C-alpha cells in the first residue's frame, strides 16, 4: 500500500500536454521537488489507470528522483547544493545587504569551489542549439574523445586531468558540433528511454540533445548494445560514479572490443566490477555508494535547523536510507521497472514508490501531494517546504528574480505557491493573504512578520534561515 497525503484543490482543467524542460514537467535535483503539468489528481498516480500522458510524465520525472536518491552522482550534487545554501546563510549572518545573485565561485568554504567546479564538469551539456536558436538535429558521428580540464582540488591548487568526454558530430547540413557528455545527457537519455519503452510514442518526440545522445553514440560504436534495456543499464551504471561522462567513455572503449554476449545483467556485472572501478579510481562500488549516501544524509539534515520541519527531516532521511538499501540489495532494479509495464500495474515501480516515496509533487492544477516512504508512513509532512526551499535557492543564486527596465533593476518574484495557498485558505476559511498583500506576487521574502509567517511557508523558511534581517539588492 502506498502511503500519501493530498494537499490542494480538486479542479480538473483541460491543459495542453507538451514536453518542457523549464516551467513545465520537471524534477529539481537536490530539492526532491517534482512539478507536473497534468490535469489529473496526483494521489491516484500508480494506483489507478490515468491518461497515459500523465503516467509517462510522472514516470520520466520519478526516474530522475531515483537517480537523485540512489546514485553517487546524485549524492554529489546534493552535497554541493546544500553547501551553497549553508554558505548563503553564513553570508546573511555577516551582512546587512545581500546583492543577488550570490556568487560562491571565489570561496573555498566547505570545499565549495572545487566541488562546484567538479559538478560543472560532471554535468556536461544539456541542450544543443544552432546559431538560430533551434535544436540541433544529429546527422553523423565524427569522434568521441576525452579532453583535459584544469581542476581545482584544495588550498588553491589545481591539476590537469582528462575529465571531459566530448562527442564530435555533424548535422544533416554537414555543420560540425561538439557536445560534452555528462550527467545531464546520461540521466535524460535514461529517463527518456524508460518512458518511451513503457509508453512508446505517447509523448512528443524530444530533441536529439540530450535525450538521444547515449543511443546515438552506442549505436555508432557498438550496434550490438543498441537495445533499450542495455542502453538504460549503461546509463544507470555510469551514474554510479561521480563523473558519469568518464564512465561512459570507458564503457564505450570496452564495448568496442568486447566480443561476448551483451545483456543488461552483464552491463551491471562489468560496470560495477573491479575493472571499471579501477578505471574510475574507486575500490568497490558499494564503498562509494555507502560513503556518498551517508554524506548526502548528513547534508540534508542541515537543511532542517528549525522545529518547523522535524517530521520532514525524518521522512527525507528515511527515504535516503531506503534508497541506499534498494540499490545495495538490487543494483539493477531499474530494469525490473522497465519490464513491469505501465505504472498502474507495475509491481516493481509501485514497490519502489512505496519504499522511497516522493517528497513533493506540485501540479499545474495547484495541488501538492507527497508519497510517504516506508517506515515514515502516517507522518504529517509539508511538501510545500520543498517548493519553498527551491524558490529560496533560485532567488539567491540566479538572475530569475531580477527585472531590468531600461537602466534600472528591480527585484520581483512571483511565489510558485501563490495559487495553492489561495485555494488552501479558501477551503480552510482563513484570511487570504495572497489577495490582501502584494508580497506573494512581488516579494514573498517580506512575509516574515509573525502574522504572515503563520500562513506563509516561504516566509517561515526565509525567517528560519535568518534572511529576514538582511535587505536584498539586485546585482550583476
**352-381, pLDDT tens digit by residue?**
999 999 999 999 988 999 999 988 877 788
Q: What is the model's pLDDT at position 30?
A: 92
Instruction: Yes or no: say if 434 and 421 are a contact pair by the CB < 8 Å rule.
Output: yes
How much of the chain, in percent, has pLDDT values that exceed 70? 89
Q: What is the pLDDT of residues 307-330, one digit of tens each?
A: 777 788 889 999 999 999 999 999
Domain map (residue ranges) of the chain: 4-71+288-381, 103-282, 399-474
Instruction: Write down the residue that cell numbers 557536445 correspond to.
Output: 179
Confidence at residue 305, expressed as pLDDT on a 0 to 100 scale: 67
pLDDT at residue 158, as a whole number? 62
Quick check: 5 pLDDT over 60? no
Average pLDDT over residues 67-85: 93
Residue 2: pLDDT over 50: no
DSSP letters, 173-234, are T--EEEEEESHHHHHHHHHHHHHHHHSTT-SPPPPHHHHTHHHHHHHHH-GGG-SHHHHHHH
Comparing 45-54, 148-157, 265-274, the range with the smallest average pLDDT is 148-157
Whole-number mean pLDDT of the chain? 88
Average pLDDT (208-226) is 96
pLDDT of the residue at 111: 61
User: pTM for this one?
Assistant: 0.91
Q: Is the pLDDT of residue 21 over 60?
A: no
Stretch 455-476: mean pLDDT, rounded?
88
3-state secondary structure of 99: strand
Residue 91: predicted pLDDT: 86
pLDDT tens string 413-449: 999 999 999 998 888 888 889 888 789 999 999 999 8
pLDDT, residue 152, reads 61
Q: Are strands 26-28 and 402-405 parallel, antiparallel or unpaired?
A: unpaired
> Is pLDDT larger for residue 20 or for residue 437?
437
For the chain, the 3-state helix, strand and coil shares in percent, each to the nearest 5, are 50, 15, 35
Q: Are 91 and 54 spatial neighbours (Cβ–Cβ below 8 Å)?
A: no
Query: Residue 11's pLDDT is what?
Result: 34
- Please, which pLDDT band fits residue 244 given cuts at 50, 70 and 90? very high
Highest mean pLDDT among 93-97, 115-119, 301-305 belongs to 93-97
Amino acid at each position: 500500500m502506498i502511503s500519501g497525503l493530498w494537499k490542494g484543490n480538486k479542479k480538473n482543467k483541460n491543459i495542453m500536454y507538451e514536453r518542457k524542460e523549464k516551467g513545465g514537467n520537471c524534477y529539481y535535483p537536490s530539492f526532491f521537488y517534482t512539478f507536473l503539468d497534468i490535469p489529473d489528481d496526483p494521489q491516484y498516480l500508480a494506483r489507478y489507470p490515468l491518461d497515459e500522458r500523465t503516467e509517462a510524465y510522472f514516470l520520466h520525472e520519478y526516474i530522475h528522483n531515483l537517480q537523485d536518491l540512489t546514485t553517487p552522482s546524485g549524492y554529489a550534487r546534493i552535497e554541493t547544493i546544500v553547501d551553497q545554501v549553508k554558505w548563503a546563510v553564513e553570508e546573511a549572518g555577516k551582512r546587512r545587504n545581500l546583492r543577488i545573485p550570490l556568487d560562491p565561485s571565489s570561496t573555498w568554504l566547505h570545499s565549495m569551489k572545487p566541488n562546484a567546479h567538479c559538478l560543472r564538469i560532471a554535468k556536461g551539456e544539456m541542450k544543443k542549439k544552432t546559431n538560430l536558436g533551434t535544436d540541433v538535429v544529429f546527422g553523423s558521428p565524427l569522434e568521441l574523445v576525452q579532453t583535459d580540464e584544469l581542476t581545482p582540488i584544495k588550498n588553491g591548487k589545481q591539476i590537469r586531468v582528462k575529465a571531459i568526454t566530448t562527442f564530435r558530430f555533424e548535422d544533416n547540413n554537414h555543420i560540425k558540433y561538439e557536445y560534452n557528455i555528462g550527467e545531464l545527457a546520461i540521466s535524460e537519455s535514461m529517463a527518456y528511454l524508460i518512458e518511451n519503452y513503457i509508453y512508446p510514442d505517447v509523448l512528443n518526440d524530444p530533441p536529439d540533445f540530450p535525450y538521444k545522445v547515449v543511443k546515438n553514440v552506442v549505436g555508432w560504436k557498438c550496434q550490438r548494445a543498441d537495445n533499450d534495456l542495455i542502453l538504460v543499464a549503461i546509463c544507470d551504471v555510469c551514474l554510479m560514479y561521480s563523473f558519469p561522462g568518464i564512465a561512459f567513455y570507458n564503457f564505450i572503449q570496452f564495448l568496442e572490443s568486447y566480443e561476448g554476449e551483451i545483456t543488461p545483467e552483464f552491463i551491471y556485472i562489468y560496470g560495477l566490477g573491479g575493472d571499471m572501478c579501477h578505471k574510475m579510481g574507486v575500490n568497490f562500488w558499494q564503498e562509494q555508494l555507502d560513503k556518498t549516501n551517508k554524506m548526502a544524509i548528513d547534508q540534508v539534515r542541515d537543511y532542517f535547523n528549525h522545529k518547523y520541519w522535524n517530521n520532514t527531516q525524518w521522512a527525507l532521511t528515511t527515504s535516503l536510507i531506503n534508497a541506499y538499501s534498494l540499490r545495495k540489495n538490487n543494483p539493477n532494479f531499474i530494469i525490473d521497472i522497465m519490464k513491469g509495464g505501465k505504472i498502474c500495474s507495475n509491481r516493481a515501480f509501485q514497490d519502489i514508490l512505496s519504499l522511497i516515496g516522493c517528497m513533493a509533487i506540485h501540479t499545474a492544477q495547484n495541488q501538492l501531494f507527497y508519497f510517504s516512504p516506508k517506515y515514515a508512513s502516517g507522518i504529517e509532512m509539508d511538501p510545500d517546504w520543498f517548493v519553498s526551499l527551491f524558490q529560496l535557492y533560485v532567488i539567491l543564486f540566479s538572475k530569475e528574480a531580477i527585472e531590468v527596465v531600461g537602466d534600472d533593476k528591480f527585484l520581483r518574484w512571483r511565489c510558485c505557491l501563490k495559487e495553492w495557498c489561495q485555494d488552501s485558505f479558501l477551503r480552510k476559511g482563513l484570511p487570504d493573504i495572497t489577495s490582501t498583500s502584494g508580497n506573494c506576487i512581488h516579494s514573498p521574502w517580506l512575509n516574515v512578520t509573525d502574522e504572515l509567517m503563520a500562513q506563509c511557508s516561504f516566509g517561515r523558511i526565509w525567517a528560519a534561515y535568518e534572511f529576514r534581517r538582511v535587505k536584498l539588492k539586485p546585482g550583476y
